[in-house]
Amino acid sequence: MKTLKAKTLITLMAIITLGIASNNLHNNESVEIKTDKTDKAKIKSVVNTYVLGGDQQSVSQLESVMHDNYRVIINDLNEGIIKELDKSTYLGFIEKKAFGGEERKIEIESISISNEVNSIVVLKMTSNKAIFHSQFSLVKVDSKWWIIQDLVQMEIK
């Protein structure tokens, strides 16, 4: 009889523990979903600022969303080479009006967030002259999202 009571007690404790864990899991999921939506909105804002900064050739606008370790990787299918530019080189091209200056339409295809501090944004930007297929890598530092890398492939129209 004592064994049956002990087993029953253990079973009840397990059920209660699972119920509490399940409730906590559901509560955490709703927090994650809310945080995820908030972060996605912030990420979209950063991406829009970056694209507008390029379109308007605004170094200050770009700097406001570019991480110090930013780089752009250009997969140039026309020339068959891959080019890497660091932040200062990229901004130099913007400042000299060698890059940007053409309005682009943005289509965000996906945003994924990992561990609440890393994000990948897949997007397509279309101008009158070219189509840009990009994957932005973002990092969250002190509650602010920064673009740390732009992996881009450009198609000339």
The pLDDT of 3-24, averaged and rounded, is: 42
- Domain containing 49 equals 2-156
Query: Within its chain, how far is the Cα of 73 from the centroid?
Result: 16
pLDDT-based confidence at 100, cuts 50/70/90? Answer: very high
Question: Model confidence at 9, in pLDDT bands (50, 70, 90)?
Answer: very low
CA angle 26, 32, 38 (to 5 degrees): 145
Provide the domain count of the chain: 1
Beta carbons within 10 angstroms of residue 129's beta carbon: 10
The pLDDT value given to residue 33? 54
The CATH number of whichever domain residue 96 belongs to comes to 3.10.450.50
- pLDDT of residue 8 exceeding 70, the answer is no
Give dist(CA 111, CA 27) in Å, integer.
Answer: 23
With contact defined as beta carbons under 8 Å apart, do 117 and 139 qualify? yes
pLDDT over 90, % of the chain: 71
pLDDT for the residue 148: 98
Q: What is the pTM of this model?
A: 0.77
Q: Does the pLDDT value for residue 155 go beyond 50?
A: yes
Using the 8-state DSSP alphabet, how is residue 101 labeled?
A: -
| Predicted local distance difference test score (pLDDT) of residue 29 | 44
